[in-house]
Chain A
Amino acid sequence: MNATATTDPFLERAPMLLRDALTGFLPEPWRWLVNGLIAIGLILAVFGLLFAFLTLAERKILGRVQNRPGPNRAPTPTLPFLGFLGKIRTYGLAQPFADGVKALTKEDIVPRGADPVLHYLAPVALLAFSILTFAVIPYGRHLVPLELDAAVLYFFAAGAATELAVFMAGWASRNKYSLLAAMRALAQLISYELPLLLSWVPVVMLAGTLSTTGIVEAQAGWKFGFIPHWHVFTPWGFCGFVIFMVAALAESNRSPFDTPEAESELIAGHLTEYSGFKYALFFMAEYFGMIALSGMAITLFLGGWRAPLPFLEFIPSYVWFAAKLCVLLFGFIWIRATFPRLRIDQLMRFAWKFLVPLALINLLTAAVWSLTAGWSAPLQLVRWAVTLALVIVPFVVLGRRLSAGHAPRTYRYAT
């Protein structure tokens, strides 16, 4: 973590000051270790709680989209010393804890033919790899748990390792449906890995660094004093952001790409033979993956922890990061509430015939953008026109080819 600059406002420095107050008296190597442990503990606590309340928020938002209230009845348990208050209704805020208790007290069934070690290891490995990705995301100006030169590479390497755990789960269950579903899940995850990786390559090209702090640094400043220099406000950045988010949906097994565990078609895919807390761990890992990918999308395209407008900079950076994270997570939930699930062949076609070519062309767009950076003011319009055309024309052409013979759909019986 960075040395605290004394020029920052107090709230910006507050977390660091608190940490230094806690560990400042320790000798150097111990201090480093304890600081690391504090960071780990904070990540686990903050994102564990975020996961818990995200499941609640998801159920509430899905409920509202379907014009119903969602979970709102879980009461707080009556404590002996607060008995006079009775059961307090808290708009369902106790629901995640009730779910947790339920998952913990359920029977943990391991199939007789299953490989017990692998069967046990799969959820643990999945969760471990998901948590590893949290290490390199800059949550605030001084809040980077781990400064790595190749942070982006590390992030996607750790993220890709979760695919191994998915297959491990399917293989260890000794269930042919689990195995088939795991193979399908693997096919999907690997297919969407490619557009996911290609979509952030332009960011690295333009920023010239693989370090997440460096990428956030590259998005500093404002054009005309109010348009932030975020990558999403450039043609290639917008295209990359959209591809990244679509691929992130698929990578985190979220609707409409949730074929690996499609509830209504398969039983639960590779999770068929998992119950109780192991199932909850898979669930947790999925949400961690979603949160981590949202955090990475913020870092790569949405200016990281930077404020959107200059006069809003007095609000601490970590608040901005949290706000952006909430917006993206709401987007994930909104998409889940809206779109029906894709069939596996549609999903593959979409990845290989649309997202991958678009991401490759986006590399070209970014290259043009990078090479024309020095052009003077009138030529800037040409630069924008060329790069916009490089984004929009392939989108329209590829989209037309993708939907040829499929869209617009005609309904013979329904109106």
Chain B
Amino acid sequence: MLGTGLIQGLAVTAKNFVGSFHDPARYTTVEYPEVKPKLPENYRNFPFLVSENADDPMGTLRCVACQICEKECPPQCIYIVMERDEKGKAQKRPKIFDIDLSVCMSCQICVEVCPFDAIKMDQHFEVAETDRFQALLLSREQLAKPNSYYHQIHPTEAAAVDALLAEQKAKQAAAKAAKAAGPKAAPVAGLAEAGPGSATPATTKLPAAPGAEAPKPPSPAA
């Protein structure tokens, strides 16, 4: 009969009207500035530098200024200068570490190549600025974020990284103990002699700089 389709249509819109007041599956709007969206864990946009301690971010950066990421970065948005003391000896931490967000293409290659798990992808997306040159060029002070923040935004990944670092530290300690026991056998140290620029740096820290200068060992529950 004429009109049955009209009534069916009215029923559909009425269902939506009533449903939008009580059914979250229908009413999916997130009122953004007040309510933050829940980002998926694997969401990434720009890199940040992981520091071990929130109280002293510059002193506990994992970054050793090896410049691998600077060299690998396809759009070349990273600029690193290593810290040196008065005698010109490398301090194995960055004096300058800049990332230009207006250039960065969020490819994550810096994260993949970093042997020290020192650079990771952030989820902070509210980066709008009124100055498109200086304001988007982030210095190491702005880039440094504690490991606890990393755990907060990428829990699974951060736990895996912490486990890996703990394993490395244990291995390092074992090697040190073995070295102390008998100086003749030091295969791990020999392998790592190649330095940070080599293709296999991820196995361990440099043996030449154990303990004091190297970043503090990561605490898994940070």
Q: How far is the CB of A224 from chain B (nearest CB, A)?
A: 28
Which residues of B have CB within 8 Å of A335? 10
Question: Considering the complex, which residues of chain B in the window 1-55 have a beta carbon less than 8 Å from any beta carbon of chain A?
Answer: 1-3, 5-6, 9-10, 12-14, 16-17, 19-21, 26-29, 31
Contact flag A334-B14 (CB < 8 Å), given A64-B21, A339-B6, A400-B2: yes
Q: How far is the CA of A61 from the CA of B29 in the complex (A)?
A: 15
- Cross-chain contact B3 with A66 (CB below 8 angstroms): no
Contact of A61 among B1, B17, B26 (CB under 8 A): B17
Contact flag A64-B17 (CB < 8 Å), given A399-B2, A399-B3: yes
Which residues of A have CB within 8 Å of B13? 65, 334, 337-338
Q: Does A279 contact B (CB under 8 A)?
A: no
Binding site secondary structure of chain B: helix
Q: How far is the CA of A395 from the CA of B3 in the complex (A)?
A: 10
Which residues of B have CB within 8 Å of A399? 1-3
Contact flag A338-B17 (CB < 8 Å), given A67-B26, A69-B29, A395-B2: no
Which B residue sits closest to A242, measured CB to CB?
Answer: B3
Residues of B in contact with A, size category = 20 to 34
Q: How far is the CA of A188 from the CA of B21 in the complex (A)?
A: 37
Which B residue sits closest to A61, measured CB to CB?
Answer: B17
- Cross-chain contact B10 with A334 (CB below 8 angstroms): yes
- Cross-chain contact B1 with A66 (CB below 8 angstroms): no
Contact of B9 among A64, A67, A339 (CB under 8 A): A339
| Count of A-B contacts judged by CB separation below 8 Å | 51
Which residues of B have CB within 8 Å of A67? 16, 19-20, 26-29
Contact flag A65-B16 (CB < 8 Å), given A334-B10, A338-B9, A338-B10: yes
Among A65, A396, A400, A407, the one with the most B-chain Cβ atoms within 10 Å of its Cβ is: A65
Q: How far is the CA of A373 from the CA of B210 in the complex (A)?
A: 109
Q: How far is the CA of A61 from the CA of B13 in the complex (A)?
A: 10
Question: Considering the complex, which residues of chain A in the window 361-415 have a beta carbon less than 8 Å from any beta carbon of chain B?
Answer: 395-396, 398-400, 402-403, 407-408
Contact of B12 among A338, A396, A403, A407 (CB under 8 A): A338
> Which residues of B does A touch, CB under 8 Å?
1-3, 5-6, 9-10, 12-14, 16-17, 19-21, 26-29, 31
Known: A67-B28, A402-B2, A403-B2. 7 other contacts (CB 8 A): A67-B27, A67-B29, A68-B20, A396-B1, A399-B3, A400-B2, A408-B5
> Which residues of A does B touch, CB under 8 Å?
61, 64-69, 72, 334-335, 337-339, 395-396, 398-400, 402-403, 407-408
Instruction: Please provide the 8 A-B residue pairs with the shortest distance between their CB atoms, ordered closest to farther.
Output: A399-B2, A338-B13, A64-B20, A338-B9, A67-B20, A65-B13, A67-B26, A65-B17
27 cross-chain CB contacts under 8 A: A61-B17, A64-B16, A64-B20, A65-B13, A65-B16, A65-B17, A67-B16, A68-B20, A68-B29, A69-B27, A72-B31, A334-B13, A334-B14, A335-B10, A337-B13, A337-B17, A338-B10, A338-B12, A339-B6, A339-B9, A395-B2, A398-B2, A399-B3, A400-B2, A402-B2, A403-B2, A407-B5
